[in-house]
Structure 1
Amino acid sequence: MDGNGLYLYGFMRPSVPLRVGPFGLDNREIILKSVRGLSVAVSEVGAQDFTRMPQQTLLRYVAQHQRALEGMMALGPVVPVKFGTLVGHAGAAEALLARGEARILEAFEKTRGKTELDVVARFSDFERELREIGTEEAISHFRREVVLASQAARQKARITLGKMVKAGLEQKRKGLAEAIVEGLQGVSVALKSLEIRDEAVIVSLAALLEEGETTRFEGALEALDRRFEDRVTFRLIGPLPCNSFYTLSVQQIDFDEVDCARKCLDLPEQATVSDIREAYRLMVRGCHPDSRPGGEGDRSRFESISKSYRLLLTLCGDDPVSFVKGDGSQWVTIQSLESAGRGGP
């Protein structure tokens, strides 16, 4: 999203201070917007497009986002919002709390009594690992053949050699990663593999833990450290909010999309959940695939009506929703990016 607005960090309970602290993006003050027993932490932000900025700048903002969540966590439970989420103004943030109340409360319930620790395991001496791979019989034999090859064949052979070394490295990484996951599974509620950005990293994991189990997890990690001695270096990060497992995605819907859906269901400019459901029921009568013998209803129209119905339902809470363009601050949806799973990567 471009333009000035509010940057969203996560949801909290309103019992914490209204001003969280000056540790938001670019050291902006984080404040809470509260509605009906829930709060969303926000800070003002200038024009940003997180999808197009240079990687180093992006990584700096990701680190600031994580730092903000950790600071908020010191004040109370946090349900994180996906990195890079902006809304236009305070009204949109407050509408988000009202419309997404059920899903936010569900996320709080799922994270109750849990915390996250992240583990990064690296080769202690990456160059040594590459040298060891280079001494393997198959690679050594191929190197000798390359020396005897013609000049024209050497370029192709060097590419093949590089692939062989890469395959050997992946085999090492896979074996060590499996052993590390096995050593941590028994002390975690769930483990999730995180993205690796450095070839010297063996595995990057997020561990979901019950509160009070941190010491046991650290003990298992120390046992792995002793087992692999100088081959693997471990870094432990946390405790953190459970953002690798329970993160909410927020989206503000464009007016044209909302207006098209409203017209598709022949609704007025204000409607309730009951109105939307009744309109859907009436509209699909004649075009549902099962409405005619042989299931030859108007499938295209049925799919269009169903899509409009699903969109409008996501915008409705307990109160009527306005579909007038000037009331666009209400048109926000909230979805779970929950991806917790038992076992390893």
Structure 2
Amino acid sequence: MTVTGTAPLTTAGTLGTLYVYGITPAGVRPPRAPGVDGAPVRLLTEAGLCAAVSDAPARLRARRRDLTAHQSVLDELAGQGPVLPMRFAVLTRDAEALRSRLRTGRTHLTGQLDEVRGCVEMNVKGTVVPGYFADLVRRDDGLRALARRTRRHPGYEANVRLGEALARGVAREARHAAREVLARLAPLAVRTAQGPVDDEQVLSTSFLLRSADERHFRRAVADQARRCGDRLALSLTGPLPCYSFVDTPPTTAGR
């Protein structure tokens, strides 16, 4: 299904437009939690699948309460079994269009549900720890020589060169630590999905885990955080719906 994203404003528009939360096997209970804009959530069942939907509001904003409502609906569905989660603001023009997609995409969707059955998503991010200088200078001949020259001939340009060299060295060490962390954590997962990284956030990876392995994975992340905490600050988020490991077929999205 086409994801409209989390732009500040999406206009749902026409009567009959539905907001889509996720797809599950048939037989789940309707979520009790209210959906986006407080709308009740209902299930559309077709071809052995269910789509959790509510009436789309006339104007859809990425407000905290609606983001929270979206997540609460998915949490209830995930508590009953596998779910293919939609990101915030996925719309379809009407119930029949969605039923048609469930029928034509049944094989694909059922396969996706089987892949995430009994699994959760955990996300690990790692950011550069600034100020990791003393040990770095001791181990790097080039930095050590540059630091000595700067002490002998101090000045603005010399300080800038040393600062830039140290920053590059710190980032290099953090990236190296990120590769080590990934190498140790990846074997614990069924699959991994890489997220965007930059000069500060050098690790962003989602892990598809068997639910039974979540506690062990948390311990492993804590161990890695202690091991590389002087170079890389790790953060762990989850369990999450398996956003990064599903690929649902497109449908019409409201604008």
Shift of 1:60: 8.3
Deviation at 1:210, TM superposition (A): 2.5
- Counterparts of 1:1-345 in structure 2, within 5 Å, are 2-4=11-13, 5-22=17-34, 24-47=35-58, 57=62, 65-123=70-128, 126-129=129-132, 136-137=143-144, 140=147, 147=156, 164=165, 167-196=168-197, 200-229=200-229, 231-252=231-252
Q: 1:227 to 1:33 in 2, by over 3 A?
A: same
| Greater C-alpha Rg | 1
Letter in 2 for 1:9: Y
Contact 1:79 / 1:108 at 8 angstroms: preserved in 2? yes
Q: Kindly provide the amino acid, as one letter, of the partner of residue 247 in structure 2.
A: T
**Amino acid of the residue matched to residue 74 of structure 2?**
L
Distance 1:223-1:3 versus aligned 2 partners, 3 A rule: closer
Partners of 1:20 and 1:31 within 8 A in 2: no
CA separation of 1:113 and 1:137: change in aligned 2, threshold 3 A: same
Q: CA shift at 1:38, angstroms? A: 0.9
Q: What is the CA distance between 1:114 and its match in structure 2?
A: 2.6
Distance 1:165 1:231 in 2: 13
Change (3 A) 1:127 1:170: closer
Residue in structure 2 matched with residue 278 of structure 1 by the alignment: none
- AA aligned to 2:242 is C
Shift of 1:230: 5.4
RMSD: 3.7
Quote the sequence identity (%).
Answer: 25
How much has 1:115 moved relative to structure 2? Answer: 2.4
Checking the alignment, whether the CA contact within 8 Å between 1:176 and 1:202 is kept in structure 2 is no
TM-score, scaled relative to structure 2: 0.72
Structure 2 partner of 1:263: none
The answer (yes or no) to whether the contact 1:189–1:210 under 8 Å persists in 2 is: yes
- Kindly provide the amino acid, as one letter, of the partner of residue 246 in structure 2: Y
Residues 246 and 6 of structure 1, relative CA distance in 2, 3 Å threshold:
same
Letter paired with 1:45: A
Amino acid at match of 1:44: D
Q: How many residues align?
A: 235
Conserved 8 A contact 1:81-1:249: no
Give how far 1:102 is off: 1.6
Call closer, same or farther: CA 1:19–1:67 in 2, change over 3 Å.
closer
Question: Against the structure 1 CA distance between its residues 101 and 179, is the aligned structure 2 distance closer, same or farther, given a 3 Å change threshold?
Answer: same
Q: What stretches of structure 2 of length at least 5 have no aligned partner?
A: 5-10
Higher relative contact order (CA 8 A, sep 6+): 2
Displacement after TM superposition at 1:244 (Å): 0.9
Amino acid at match of 1:108: L
State the AA in 2 paired with 1:12. Answer: T
1:128 alignment partner AA: G
Q: Secondary structure at the match of 1:11?
A: strand
Question: Gaps (5+ residues) in structure 1?
Answer: 150-156, 254-345
Q: Distance in 2 between matches of 1:63 and 1:249?
A: 25
Letter in 2 for 1:147: Y
The alpha carbon displacement at 1:91 in A equals 2.2
